[in-house]
Amino acid sequence: MIVREFCAENFTDVPQAVAAGVLRIELCDNLAVGGTTPSRGVIELTSQYAHDKAVKVFVMIRPRGGDFVYDETEVAIMVADIGTALAKGADGLVMGALTRDGEIDDRVMRSLMTAADGAEVTFHMAFDAIASDRQSAALDQLVDLGVTRVLTHGGLAGSDVMENLAHLRDTVDHARGRIRVIAGGGVTIDNYHEIIARTGVNEVHGTRIYRPAARR
């Protein structure tokens, strides 16, 4: 089954996306900085609406824009936000943490995974801040951590997924079904079929993953 995941900045476009057949919502705020944790009210009302339509909601856990290197206070904020998101109805979480050397921060991720308490977890596009030649090892590390999915452009941060289909294919091959790979970064309603055909992903993500209905 192909899963289209709509990246929603707030509740506003969720009803239209659900009506267009998306099966999952990644709910966040502040897309201008790559997404941060939305308010508890947005999480609760979006989850209620989506669940009535048999659509899952995954909530971004990110305390600020910028890099993915977090201090102890920021980690504590993320742990608290995980608890809030799950209590307000989130089906899964979207999060990630790196060291200053551009590697996955194992210690921080273990703290976040413990707080997630078995909920599905997507490691977000912090993955694309890892050097391409180290992403296979990073993928193995995410498998060991128990992460469910990784969201990636298939290359370095800021690149378009259509430029990186060969590397994305390699990532899917390396995953070998141990972890799901979601294609994002330039995915649209018009190109996602090609991306699936050329890479083997079966989950795609974006803000343009459905065709909006004409405004009346």
- pLDDT number for residue 175: 98
- Domain of 64: which CATH number? 3.20.20.380
Residue 216 lies in a domain: no
Residue 47 lies in a domain: yes
Residue 112 lies in a domain: yes
User: Which stretch of 4-8, 69-73, 97-101, 155-159 has the lowest confidence by average pLDDT?
Assistant: 155-159
Judged against a pLDDT cut of 70, whether residue 100 lies above it is answered with yes
Range of the domain at 197: 3-206
Residue 24 lies in a domain: yes
pLDDT, mean of residues 90-100: 98
Of the two residues 146 and 159, the one the predictor is more confident about is: 146
Residue 119 lies in a domain: yes
CB 90 within 8 A of CB 47: yes
pLDDT, mean of residues 92-116: 98
Residue 75 has which token pair? 């980690």
Q: How far apart are alpha carbons 131 and 129 in whole angstroms?
A: 6
The residues near 213 (Cβ < 8 Å, ≥ 6 apart) are: 16, 19, 20
Domain tally, the chain: 1
Taking the alpha carbons of 66, 148, 11, 160 in that order, is the dihedral positive or negative?
positive
Residue 82 lies in a domain: yes
Residue 211 lies in a domain: no
Judged against a pLDDT cut of 80, whether residue 124 lies above it is answered with yes
Judged against a pLDDT cut of 90, whether residue 78 lies above it is answered with yes
Judged against a pLDDT cut of 90, whether residue 159 lies above it is answered with no
Residue 214 lies in a domain: no
pTM of model > 0.85: yes
- pLDDT number for residue 133: 93
- pLDDT number for residue 215: 53
